[in-house]
Structure 1
Amino acid sequence: MPFTIDFLDDGRVLEWEATADGAVATERDDYTPRFFVAPRSPETDIDLAELRTTYDRHPEVVSTEIVTRRPAFRRGEEPVLAVDVAHVDRVTRLARRARQLSAYPVGDLACFNVDFSREFRYCLENGLDPTPARELSTLRLEVPVPETGSEVYTELSIDGETVTGSPGEILSAVQAALDARDPDVLVCSTGEIVPTLHGMAAAADGDVDIDEFTLSRWPDVDYQQLASRSTYSSYGRVGHSPARYNVPGRAIVDESNTFFYGETNLQGVLDLVSRSWKPVQELAWASIGNVLTAIQIREAHDRGVLVPWNSWRHEFYKPMGTLHDADRGGFVFAPDVGLHEDVHELDFSSLYPNIICTRNVSPDVIRCECHDRDDVPGLGYSICDDRGYLVDVLEPIVDARDEIKAAIRHERQRDDPDRQRLEELEGQSGALKWILVTCFGYQGFSNAKFGRIECHEAINAYAREILLTAKRRLEAGGWRVVHGIVDSIWVTPDPDVDDTERTALETLATAVTEAVDVRLEHEAHYDWVAFVPQRESDAGALTKYFGRVAGEDEFKIRGIEARQRSTPEFIADVQRECLERFDVTRSPEAVLACLEDALERLHAGTVPTDRLVERNRVSKPLEGYTQNTQNVAALKRTREQDIAVHPGQTIEYVVVDDEKTSRERVALAHEAVESYDPSYYETQLVRAVESVLSPVGWDRTDIRRALAETRELELSDFHRDEDPG
């Protein structure tokens, strides 16, 4: 089976199969991608024959036919118009013309199987599993940040080995690595490496023999640009999608534009390739929702159901009371702020996916017309007895992840665990975890191909009932709940219950599992756990806590600075040191001693600047900012150095003088940074230590006051606790 597919401009398709000797291409010149046109609803009267005649006249249409398909899961087979197109890049354009070519109102026609990615479409229509037949070989190319926007590289890393010199020397080194390794996958720090290297080759003056330079395995095409860069907004967060490139015969993994490869590994990517039928290159740049949608599309395809271009599912009618009851999320028990000894954490295994599978929650069966039952607690929604398609999508993934987790536990328990095997299993488990995490939220996503808000509401309703059931059982068994959120619950022995009368957690977990039909697992035992209050309130922060894992030399940390990607390494390390000190002494004063030591190093100028790097996301172009923030100063420096940073990308810098508003306020991480602003980083340290001590009643004012007794502070130290920037 091919692991990557290339589409040439003349309509030919290249299927690349990984073989023992490298890769072999099979040419096809008869591929005609297909989309469908149908009435939007069964009641709409559309003359498909007339529309077919119109399409037949179009020069980019190869053929048409009227076939029977299911336009939706809740509709039976109906006549639809199938349109075969000359080239995969013409599908969307011709689908748009459906409304122009017909005399019917826009709302009467619907197009299906339109917006598929190219390689995924090819695999789906031809029944090809793009999982490679052997292990894929890789070659990593990386350029330093200052050169990312350059037209000519003077430095480039090849599999970790740095090459410097003239364009000819760099190109020769890359070509030598390609010849020696013949990689199936090119892992690039940025996709721009592809056009830049070929541009350097085209501009070379013959200083070395590079006439034959190419990244491609196909002699006629060096590379193709598949998409231009773009900026987008998702759930209020700005993101950046860089330009995408294709090299015939090799898959490109752009490290600046990959989620699954970055969060898991190649084994995790390949596991999802086999489930989604999105080849390696497309899987690497795809979002979680995009991959989940591909898996759903495969299930729909197997059932003869077409995939809508635009989602148009209306929300079912609900009375006001039902709207009020349904518009809620998962259940939350406010955390009991403070330090708690002997705490146990219990989690429901893949709660939302298991609710879908055990309760048959699926868009095609919820609120069916064949039953009038109150299946969903508190909402009164009925769920059909017929098996929903979403169950068939998720159940294999849930079962596979359970098996992989069991294999991981078994491997770790061996005296001599196989590290490579363990890494492969963890990559697969991580990839499946992200799909399962997303499956619930995607039901409420307005652009989801098959989502339905009623599923989202039903899953939450079941989850609330399940967590309340667990709370009642645990409390009845002699345990006190100190926190709970959606699928996790933290308990400690109830001091008012005698130890001899307290039911073992293992017994209670088994009873809860049997009662709710979702496995309740003992996640961890902590010597102690501290729940952190909100910054400007005594109420507990739902996702900020830390604790010492019993019997292990480790902490579990969630939400505080050491877990935040933007936190400088030095700040995170000091916070962890403070946690260690707090664990041993339970003394705020001992933690302050650790802070004082860090402050001495900070003000002495002995902290390496590379450990003070801030990482912040850019939300708009430089001209869009109205305040002189640190990001603005950093963007000014990148512009000065011809480094392109787009909205949605991350920028890295060290704060050198936070009192300034010019570009001198910061220095970019790759620059030769000789100094930093100790007062700014002191504020960051105090905030980090406040997170550690706030559960025992200390805030920034208390910390500053205690520090004032041992060191002389300036007045400015007391107003720097405002949020930076």
Structure 2
Amino acid sequence: MFLLDIRYDPKKSTITKWIKDGTGCKPVREVCHPKIYVSSTGKDKHELQHLISSLPGVRGTCIEKKRTWLGSEPEEVLCATMDAGSIHDTASMLEAKGCGLYNIDLDPVRQYLLECGLFPMARFKGDSLDDHQYALDYEVPELTSMRLSVTPSRDKGIATMDDTILRIALEDTIIEGEDEAQIIERLSGEIAVSDPDILFTDRGDSFDMPYLYHRAALHGIELQLGREKDILPDSCGRSYFSYGRMLYKPGGFTLAGRLHLDTSSFIFREGGLPGMIDLARITGIPMQELSRLSPGSAVTALQVNQALRDGVLVPWKRNLAEYWKTALELLIADRGALVIEPKVGLHENVSEIDFASLFPNIMVNHNISPETVLCSCCPDSSHRVPFVHYNICQRHTGLIPRVLTPLIERRVEYKKRIATDPARAEEYEMKQNMLKWLLVTSFGYMGFNKARFGRIECHESITAYGREILLLTMEMADRMGFEILHGIVDCLWVKGHGAERLCELMTRKTGIQLELKGEFRWLVFLPNKSNGAGALNRYYGVMNNGKLKVRGIEMRRSDTPRVIRDLQEAMLGKLAQAKNASEFRMKIPETIGVLREHARKLLAGECIPADLVFETHVSRGSDDYKQFNNQAAALRQYLHEGIKIQPGQSIRYIITDHSSKRYQKRVKIPELADETTVYDRAKYYEYLLRAAESILLPFGYTERRLDELVKGKVQENLCKYMVTDNF
């Protein structure tokens, strides 16, 4: 038996565990009331206990000994068992009275799992747990699944909630040919008979599910896709700002006793089903909820879980102020990671070396955690952060290292198994990739002001160690005769032979694995078009095994039209045939020929609409754009079609007349395009030249020069124009 899913009903204060037993799945219920904790500094605890006991929704109170912050000593706090619906009102009232509040917004399901020592996909033997949460080799139940997709009746334009259902595909079964109400009722019947454990959709949260429930409601049908009555989300979605981008998260349509997994979610794309199961086990987050979270939320869950096991309460509203710094101290501390500007141009015999999980390993090796950096128990500690000289605790291992150590070890083991167990290599790749994202975000959350256990001094300490390690590596490389071409955060590109030896020496010196990521026959670092300096993460090159590696140019961006992507792929395909710099130089005329052919096809109007689609995320609503651009024009078209795009959602459009001030003429939404749609050839030609320039700019080929070559204004031999200084 396995714990397939678990959910909480706040109205009935009931936990429902869905136990997978062979081919069936049964619910097991029990009453569960969440707990909150209240500290009463300066107040009589017993008087406060009497007050809280009298409040509505409070089931019981007691006094327990807990720690209210990492590294603090246990103290007496008040524990209140409550109805879930009364928690926030009670907490707000107590906060106004100056009380400290803890564990207020913890998910009751997660509290229950921690208290019972359970986790998603755990195996049972009878009524007892027969599994270990961090086991590497574990049994997974045989899960049945079906893929669901819905096709609206509209044959042109953008489908809306007002369009009737044309057909529903449920795995190999097609439901159509009847009136809409019968189609919906047949869907419920087919799912009930097949009884799958997982229902896969593609963008189900953003369209298929809300569309199905909306159409069912119009006919007075109670659609049930889960094993019990479905609970619909309270909101349709929300926009939020993260890492410089406006993003949109649709409402999550989770099912009772059946897993609804939207394959378009980040977690599923990166880890697939094996990665999700592995992550659900170690984080304790039910799979349906996990699939709709970010890696950062998963890292936070691991930290919260460990803190609660340690008897540390989670503050409701974190208020940890940054230590006061002088202007000089701030200048020294707030430097971030080390970056060495790349040497623009073509280079031969280049090695790329990279520290494996550098920042997480720094946190583990140097005991960096909110309670250990600048700890009060070791002010004279000999363990000091380079450059900033913060003291680090020598008596206790911090929360963050204890959370990250098993993640690092787990990922290392999975990476080993990829090579030693080829039959399961794909599965292990998915699992290690999911862990990679957790380790990557673990650093960023240390400097996030709303992180549960973040602290800016920890962030500064990690980057300081990172700078020192990269500087030491550069010094070692220089002594060994390597030329440093580029460096960024945890990675170096060096020119010369024998990089394996450099990796061995620095691994021993730093205690962190320095890996040889690749050896290049040749590598081109690209310039920043605005100032000519080396762009930090824009390059392309061919490794010794013949693999082409590309970073930072248009073909790597998700918003690039296929016509631009095809051009760059074809140009780089020609250059990839070169085995050295001399051959690379001789291949440039062939890439110009590729550009000329793509330009001819584009200017002749031979490109199909599907190859011309831009897809981009919008950061604001249609009424918030001050300038009229392509995005604003597309948003107005969507609105005219009855679709309101929220900030953070993506839009798609084809440029039809870039100079027009009318949104109907400037762009065309792909769903509205047909054989009569005419694209703006001049504008797309401009984009084509810009994409070719991205590849050939280090060799003197600007947009203007490429335009002259394509249009035949320059008749001389192309080789005459080669800029050889970069070779």
**TM-score, normalisation: structure 1:** 0.88
The answer as to 2:619 corresponding to 1:608 is no
SS state of the match for residue 265, structure 1?
A: helix
Relative to structure 1, the CA distance from residue 37 to residue 364 in structure 2 (aligned partners, 3 Å threshold; closer, same or farther) is same
Return the offset for 1:622. 1.0
Relative to structure 1, the CA distance from residue 311 to residue 684 in structure 2 (aligned partners, 3 Å threshold; closer, same or farther) is same
Relative to structure 1, the CA distance from residue 628 to residue 255 in structure 2 (aligned partners, 3 Å threshold; closer, same or farther) is farther
Q: Say which of 506, 515, 519 aligns to 1:521.
A: 515
Q: In the alignment, what sits opposite 1:722?
A: none
Native 8 Å contact 1:4 1:17 kept in 2: yes
Q: Say which of 243, 260, 263 aligns to 2:270.
A: 263
Distance in 2 (alpha carbons) for counterparts of 1:135 and 1:94 = 44
Relative to structure 1, the CA distance from residue 160 to residue 687 in structure 2 (aligned partners, 3 Å threshold; closer, same or farther) is farther
Native 8 Å contact 2:525 2:534 kept in 1: yes
Q: In the alignment, what sits opposite 2:4?
A: 3
Map Cα deviations across residues 377-409 of structure 1 (whole Å, 9 max, x no partner): 111111112211111100111111111111113
Q: Say which of 105, 111, 135 aligns to 2:101.
A: 111
- With 637-646 and 222-231 compared, the bigger mean Cα shift is at 222-231
Relative to structure 1, the CA distance from residue 79 to residue 151 in structure 2 (aligned partners, 3 Å threshold; closer, same or farther) is farther
The answer as to 2:194 corresponding to 1:194 is no
Map Cα deviations across residues 446-481 of structure 1 (whole Å, 9 max, x no partner): 001111111111111111110011111111111111
Q: In the alignment, what sits opposite 1:248?
A: 256
Distance in 1 (alpha carbons) for counterparts of 2:235 and 2:113 = 20
Return the offset for 1:353. 0.6
The answer as to 2:454 corresponding to 1:461 is no
Native 8 Å contact 1:17 1:132 kept in 2: no
Relative to structure 1, the CA distance from residue 197 to residue 144 in structure 2 (aligned partners, 3 Å threshold; closer, same or farther) is closer
1:32-71 to 2 correspondences below 5 Å = 32-39=33-40, 44-71=41-68
Return the offset for 1:646. 1.2
Q: In the alignment, what sits opposite 1:292?
A: 299
Map Cα deviations across residues 390-441 of structure 1 (whole Å, 9 max, x no partner): 1110011111111111111334xxxxx43xx333212111110110101111
Return the offset for 1:630. 1.3
Letter in 2 for 1:98: L
Relative to structure 1, the CA distance from residue 118 to residue 141 in structure 2 (aligned partners, 3 Å threshold; closer, same or farther) is farther
- With 194-203 and 431-440 compared, the bigger mean Cα shift is at 194-203
Q: In the alignment, what sits opposite 2:419?
A: 409
SS state of the match for residue 66, structure 1?
A: strand
The answer as to 2:90 corresponding to 1:78 is no
Relative to structure 1, the CA distance from residue 711 to residue 345 in structure 2 (aligned partners, 3 Å threshold; closer, same or farther) is same
Native 8 Å contact 1:194 1:223 kept in 2: no
Native 8 Å contact 2:175 2:187 kept in 1: no
The answer as to 2:149 corresponding to 1:147 is no
Return the offset for 1:56. 1.3
Letter in 2 for 1:698: Y
Q: In the alignment, what sits opposite 1:22?
A: 24
- With 159-168 and 444-453 compared, the bigger mean Cα shift is at 159-168
- With 75-84 and 182-191 compared, the bigger mean Cα shift is at 182-191
Distance in 1 (alpha carbons) for counterparts of 2:107 and 2:166 = 35
Q: Which segments of 5 or more consecutive residues in structure 1 lack a partner in the other structure?
A: 206-210, 412-416, 494-501, 713-725
Q: In the alignment, what sits opposite 2:390?
A: 381
Native 8 Å contact 1:32 1:85 kept in 2: yes
The answer as to 2:550 corresponding to 1:543 is no
Letter in 1 for 2:351: H
The answer as to 2:593 corresponding to 1:597 is no
SS state of the match for residue 671, structure 2?
A: coil
SS state of the match for residue 262, structure 1?
A: helix
- With 196-205 and 562-571 compared, the bigger mean Cα shift is at 196-205
Q: In the alignment, what sits opposite 1:715?
A: none
Return the offset for 1:286. 1.0
Native 8 Å contact 2:419 2:425 kept in 1: no
1:697-708 to 2 correspondences below 5 Å = 697-708=700-711
Relative to structure 1, the CA distance from residue 711 to residue 265 in structure 2 (aligned partners, 3 Å threshold; closer, same or farther) is farther
Relative to structure 1, the CA distance from residue 635 to residue 317 in structure 2 (aligned partners, 3 Å threshold; closer, same or farther) is closer
* Number of equivalenced pairs: 675
Q: Say which of 228, 231, 234 aligns to 2:239.
A: 231
- With 444-453 and 47-56 compared, the bigger mean Cα shift is at 47-56
Return the offset for 1:215. 1.0
Native 8 Å contact 1:345 1:524 kept in 2: yes
Return the offset for 1:590. 2.2
Letter in 2 for 1:121: Q
Return the offset for 1:645. 2.0
Return the offset for 1:643. 2.5
Native 8 Å contact 2:56 2:86 kept in 1: no
Native 8 Å contact 2:523 2:539 kept in 1: yes
Native 8 Å contact 1:147 1:153 kept in 2: no
Return the offset for 1:276. 0.9
Map Cα deviations across residues 295-342 of structure 1 (whole Å, 9 max, x no partner): 001110111101111111122233443221110111111100001111
- With 402-411 and 285-294 compared, the bigger mean Cα shift is at 402-411
SS state of the match for residue 261, structure 2?
A: strand
Q: In the alignment, what sits opposite 2:365?
A: 358
Distance in 2 (alpha carbons) for counterparts of 1:3 and 1:291 = 19
Q: In the alignment, what sits opposite 1:480?
A: 483
Distance in 1 (alpha carbons) for counterparts of 2:146 and 2:45 = 51
- With 77-86 and 242-251 compared, the bigger mean Cα shift is at 242-251
Distance in 1 (alpha carbons) for counterparts of 2:226 and 2:249 = 24
Letter in 2 for 1:327: D
Q: In the alignment, what sits opposite 2:724?
A: none
Distance in 1 (alpha carbons) for counterparts of 2:387 and 2:542 = 39
Relative to structure 1, the CA distance from residue 624 to residue 237 in structure 2 (aligned partners, 3 Å threshold; closer, same or farther) is same
Letter in 1 for 2:181: G
Distance in 1 (alpha carbons) for counterparts of 2:686 and 2:142 = 50
Distance in 2 (alpha carbons) for counterparts of 1:35 and 1:17 = 28
Distance in 1 (alpha carbons) for counterparts of 2:122 and 2:610 = 40
Return the offset for 1:59. 2.1
The answer as to 2:294 corresponding to 1:281 is no
Return the offset for 1:542. 0.2
Relative to structure 1, the CA distance from residue 349 to residue 324 in structure 2 (aligned partners, 3 Å threshold; closer, same or farther) is same
Return the offset for 1:135. 4.1
Letter in 2 for 1:449: R
Q: In the alignment, what sits opposite 1:183?
A: 196
Distance in 2 (alpha carbons) for counterparts of 1:121 and 1:240 = 28
SS state of the match for residue 244, structure 1?
A: coil
Q: Which segments of 5 or more consecutive residues in structure 2 lack a partner in the other structure?
A: 124-140, 153-157, 578-583, 716-727
Q: In the alignment, what sits opposite 1:204?
A: 219
Return the offset for 1:144. 5.5
Distance in 1 (alpha carbons) for counterparts of 2:603 and 2:570 = 18
Q: In the alignment, what sits opposite 1:272?
A: 279
